[in-house]
């Protein structure tokens, strides 16, 4: 009992001592420097200039992208988009000196393409109309290729298809090797190719001596939507996987020996893999049929229109530039500590519900060294997406980025560029677009692009 009373007394005395020493946290340090030198200030009225511009170049070769986009969209604001693909095929390892046997005969030749994603961007009921051509010039692995580039094709059409994408699973029976493959896999695009093409690949067996000989004889394919098949409104794009084992050209045939025993075809595959060259081409037709206000800002260079609305579009389309005209290097920058800076963008688009905004935006700045311009992520991005931001908040219909370190560096004079570039994430594979409010919209100022800054001002002793 005595020990309990002693312990209770000690606890009471310690608590009394702590409470007697309690101090207003805002006054901590005042006894050292005199008056409280700290002043925390919040404001969201920093001057901002925003405008949208064309993306001048975007790499789409196989070293830069892992999936490919094909399809066509007629956007009510951005106009027409046609996404196409150039792609090689190769021989499988061990196929050198392949022979089709005595009395061989072509049954059919089919291009199969695996989906890279189980979503359509655009109208899910839109019927894709694709045409396949044969390439007339080489694709070279590891070449740097941009989305505006093209390659010559032959005049002959290899194949055509019209289909509405489906993503349910089906049983595929594969008679390759000695057994039936009944595994359930994602449905693929299936495009029958011309018999003339299949017969040509069978008749010259010298092309199977090596991949070099094969690629000399068959340089690859080009898949596109022809002008006469472009949608008058709506449309959609798909993401395809040209590194997938389920993407190949399969040649079905029989020969004399096999036909005597079996009632199904033999087959031979031309495959894609990591060594296959390819690139995407994105044609926006110079935005000839885009909305007039869009054209005036993006094509005409009328940056003042960015006060009302701004635009972003993937597939080498459009980005937005953000400038802070009055946030420059300050001589007394050491008197200002930026606690937090957040940049907000509000989605105001209701032009087409089938064309939703992208789930994330990217933000970067440019730096020029020895006449070479490179694009860099800002320092705050190194803290991770959860901190940095860029994700779409569907409840509030907005995106935000934390720019705390960037703004601090800006007033210290340590940044290389007082312009930020905001773009669709994955612009080489995502067709998404965004229309956001500008920095002084007439309709709803609450949705303006704004920079929200909280900083601490430290008074000097002078």
Q: Which of 348, 338, 366 is nearest to 422 (CA)?
A: 366
Q: Supply 317's token pair.
A: 């389309």
- The pLDDT, as a whole number, for residue 459 is 72
Distance CA 185, CA 455 (A): 55
DSSP class of residue 273 equals -
- The pLDDT, as a whole number, for residue 147 is 97
- The pLDDT, as a whole number, for residue 173 is 53
Domains in the chain, ordered, with CATH?
A: 41-55+291-458 (2.60.120), 68-285 (no CATH)
Note the pLDDT tens digit of each residue in 197-255: 999 999 988 899 899 999 999 999 999 999 999 999 999 999 999 999 999 999 999 99
What phi and psi, each to the nearest 5 degrees, are found at residue 375? -105, 135
- The pLDDT, as a whole number, for residue 184 is 53
Q: Supply 418's token pair.
A: 């007082």
Rounded (5°) CA angle 403-444-51: 50
- The pLDDT, as a whole number, for residue 376 is 81
Go through the chain and tell me how many residues it has.
462
Rounded (5°) CA angle 243-247-248: 115
Q: Supply 188's token pair.
A: 């693929």
Distance CA 345, CA 451 (A): 10
What phi and psi, each to the nearest 5 degrees, are found at residue 451? -110, 120
Distance CA 105, CA 100 (A): 9
- The pLDDT, as a whole number, for residue 368 is 62
Helix (H) or strand (E) holding 9, with range, is helix 2-20
Q: Supply 359's token pair.
A: 């789930």
Helix (H) or strand (E) holding 30, with range, is helix 30-33
CB 349 within 8 A of CB 50: no
Provide the 10 A C-beta neighbour count for residue 417: 17
Three-state DSSP class for residue 257? helix
Distance CA 187, CA 114 (A): 7
> pLDDT tens per residue, the chain (462 residues)?
444 434 443 433 333 333 333 333 233 333 434 455 678 898 888 899 999 999 988 999 999 998 999 999 999 999 999 999 999 999 987 666 678 989 999 999 999 999 998 889 999 999 999 999 999 999 999 999 999 999 999 999 999 999 999 887 655 555 554 555 555 556 789 999 999 999 999 998 889 989 999 999 999 999 999 999 999 999 999 999 999 999 999 999 999 988 878 878 899 999 999 999 999 999 999 999 999 999 999 999 999 999 999 999 999 999 999 999 988 888 888 889 999 999 999 999 988 889 988 999 999 987 766 566 677 888 999 999 899 999 999 999 999 999 999 999 999 988 767 889 999 999 999 999 999 999 999 989 999 999 999 999 987 654
- The pLDDT, as a whole number, for residue 400 is 98
CB 415 within 8 A of CB 365: yes
What phi and psi, each to the nearest 5 degrees, are found at residue 407? -65, -40
Provide the whole-model pTM.
Answer: 0.85
The separation between the first and the last C-alpha atoms of the chain, rounded to the nearest angstrom, is 62
């Amino acid at each position: 009992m005595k020990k309990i009373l002693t312990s209770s007394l000690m606890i009471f005395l310690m608590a009394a001592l702590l409470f007697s020493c309690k101090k207003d946290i805002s006054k901590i340090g005042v006894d050292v420097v005199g008056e409280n030198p700290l002043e925390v200030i919040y404001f969201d009225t920093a001057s901002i200039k925003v405008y949208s511009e064309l993306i001048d170049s975007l790499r789409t070769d196989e070293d830069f992208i892992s999936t490919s986009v094909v399809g066509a969209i007629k956007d009510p604001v951005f106009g027409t988009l046609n996404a196409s693909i150039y792609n090689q095929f190769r021989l499988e390892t061990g196929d050198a000196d392949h022979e089709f046997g005595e009395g061989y005969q072509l049954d059919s030749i089919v291009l199969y393409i695996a989906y890279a994603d189980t979503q359509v961007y655009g109208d899910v009921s839109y019927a894709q109309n694709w045409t396949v051509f044969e390439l007339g010039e080489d694709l070279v692995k590891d070449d740097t290729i941009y989305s505006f580039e093209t390659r010559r094709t032959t005049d002959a059409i290899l194949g055509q298809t019209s289909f509405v994408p489906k993503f349910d699973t089906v049983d595929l029976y594969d008679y390759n090797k000695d057994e039936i493959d009944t595994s359930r896999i994602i449905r693929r695009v299936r495009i029958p190719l011309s018999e003339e093409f299949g017969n040509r690949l069978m008749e010259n067996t010298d092309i199977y001596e090596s991949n070099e000989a094969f690629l000399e004889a068959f340089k690859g394919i080009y898949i596109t939507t022809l002008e006469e098949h472009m949608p008058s409104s709506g449309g959609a794009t798909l993401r395809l996987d040209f590194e997938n084992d389920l993407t190949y050209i399969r040649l079905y045939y029989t020969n004399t020996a096999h036909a005597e025993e079996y009632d199904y075809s033999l087959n031979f595959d031309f495959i894609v893999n990591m060594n296959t060259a390819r690139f995407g081409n994105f044609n926006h037709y110079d935005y000839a049929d885009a909305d007039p206000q869009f054209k005036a800002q993006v094509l005409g260079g009328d940056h003042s229109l960015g006060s009302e609305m701004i635009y972003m579009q993937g597939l080498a389309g459009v980005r937005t530039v953000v400038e802070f005209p009055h946030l420059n290097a300050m001589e007394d920058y050491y008197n200002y500590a930026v606690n937090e800076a957040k940049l907000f963008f509000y989605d105001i688009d209701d032009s087409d519900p089938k064309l939703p905004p992208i789930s994330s935006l990217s933000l970067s700045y440019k730096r020029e060294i020895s006449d070479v311009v490179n694009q860099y992520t800002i320092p705050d991005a190194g803290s991770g997406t959860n901190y940095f931001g860029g994700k779409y908040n569907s409840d509030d219909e907005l995106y935000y980025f934390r720019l705390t370190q960037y703004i601090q560096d800006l007033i210290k004079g340590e940044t290389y560029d007082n312009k930020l570039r905001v773009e669709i994430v994955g612009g080489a594979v995502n067709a998404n677009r965004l229309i956001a409010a500008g920095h002084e919209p007439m309709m709803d100022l609450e949705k303006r692009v704004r920079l929200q800054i909280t900083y601490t001002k430290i008074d000097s002793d002078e």
